[in-house]
A and B are shown apart, each in its own frame.
Chain A
Amino acid sequence: MKARVEEADERLLVEAAQQDPRRFGELYERNFDRVYAFVPRRVASRAEAEDVTAEVFHRALVNLPRFQWRGVPFASWLLRIATNTAADQQRRAGRKRLDPAPEIAAPETSDARQVEEEERSARLFRLVQQLPADQRRVVRLRFAEEKSIHKVAQELGRSEGAVKQLQFRALENLRA
């Protein structure tokens, strides 16, 4: 029942954004984590992951008027764009694709375990946003900004021991 309500909500959001592109921000917020969980596993670096993710949403915005609702989540359409964009990125970078398959598989046919991992990552990213502010800052600085304990401590004006404890508590909260 909950899934049906969410689907109906999403359909309304898509239709609203098709009528008025300024409503696209809501679709972006709803789907950003899922797309971002998908992309880094298919590119070589954080910078490439950001480039590809940005391109996915730019392409989605431009092509939104052509999107047709066929009962599959909007995220599937975004992930199909992400698949192609990541493949383009690999070609541009002159690398062989990371995926050994001749074509990077569309999300619906890709390995179920990988899909599960990505969905877990997306949930994890959303949970980070719900952490208490000091724990959230430590997690973001430490893992997303890739800063050392020393640098995080300097930036937050806390001792290194306190930062390690915040890191520990944040991970415990995320695991709960």
Chain B
Amino acid sequence: MAKANLSEELNRALEPVLASPDAALPALSPHIAGLAGLALELRFLPRERFRVRLREELEWEAKMSEAAATKPLRVGFHTITPYIAVREATELIGFVKRAFGAEGGVLGIGSEGGIHAEMKIGDSMVMIGGGAALNRTPMPTALHYYVPDCDAVYRRAIEAGATSLMEPADQFYGDREAAVKDVAGNHWYIATHLNGPHIPPGLHSIQVSLHLHGASSLIEFLVKALGVEEISRHPAPDGTIAHATLRLGSSTFEMGAAHGPWQPMPTMFNLYVPDADALYCRALEAGAESVAEPADQPYGARVAAVKDPAGNRWYFATPGKTMSH
């Protein structure tokens, strides 16, 4: 039989089984039956795009973990630094100094108008920007702050002008915890880990705490877009996420379903990453919205920014040799 006829016969046999996995191959000559059997096995063939994309994701993750394991991209900073952009920036700087013994101060004018300050709180950095000249919607945030003595820090925060959201109490998950709201509307969950060191292993003094509607879909997005790694997830009885901890480079952050007084507060994350351009492209490919294309900044870093589906803004910064402050 001519090859054309054989190729037609083979394809006729394959059409129904490729369309429906339950369909059976018709009776065929032994040669064609052998080829058709092989074709059925090829239904499991991986898509090339998938193979390549996964390799790129793993390379990125390896690069991030390598960067985290060796030396920080900017001395004193972990991968994530929360950025609080509020009109009450000056008052907030005073508050974190008085309440939390924060060190640091104003370094100059920020790219979005107003002042730019960098404060060290515990072992972590927090950026504060804005003031009266803030030219964008304020973005206060919620931060989990681990301290040696939750009760004492809570008292100091109240004395420094914060409003109490929750008095110190032992929580079932092994922390003693309190919550306050500062003058700029930020929430501070002040906690002491009760068994062992006051900061749970693997965490830093400060981590961003997101409350969301649809936490699991945001986790799925962040895994794809930024290579975030889910460390733990505790479901709530209603099937939502009560609490999840995620790692990105040398930092962790947490999230849970919005409820009661803990409602969404879209947050600005500043990330120090080895390759801002690559992460920006990866995030866009995963469906992030571009906020700023990668560009060299006058202070010596290459910076890009995206917005995730929950409205959080992610700034990717790769410091250059000339980076100031």
Contact = CB atoms under 8 A, between A and B. Distances in A.
Interface residues of A, number: 44
Interface of B: 3-4, 6-8, 10-11, 18, 34-35, 38-39, 41-48, 50-51, 54-55, 57-59, 61-63, 65-66, 229
A144 B47 contact: yes
A71 to B, nearest CB: 25
Main secondary structure of the interface of B (DSSP, over half): helix
Main secondary structure of the interface of A (DSSP, over half): helix
A46 B300 CA distance: 45
A164 B51 CA distance: 26
22 contacts: A22-B66, A28-B55, A28-B58, A36-B46, A36-B51, A37-B44, A58-B58, A58-B61, A58-B229, A61-B61, A61-B62, A128-B45, A140-B48, A144-B42, A144-B46, A145-B47, A149-B11, A167-B39, A168-B10, A172-B35, A174-B38, A175-B34
Contacts of B34: 175
Contact of A40 (B6, B44, B229): B44
| Residue from the set A28, A62, A121, A168 with the largest chain B CB neighbour count within 10 Å | A168
Given A128-B45, A164-B7, A57 B35 contact: no
Contacts of A174: 38
B58 A143 contact: no
Contacts of A12: none
Given A28-B58, A32-B46, 15 more contacts: A21-B66, A22-B66, A29-B55, A33-B46, A40-B44, A54-B57, A61-B58, A124-B38, A125-B46, A140-B48, A143-B18, A144-B42, A146-B18, A149-B11, A168-B6
A122 to B, nearest CB: 10
Given A29-B55, A54-B57, A124-B41, A21 B47 contact: no
Contacts of A24: 58-59, 62
A82 interface: no
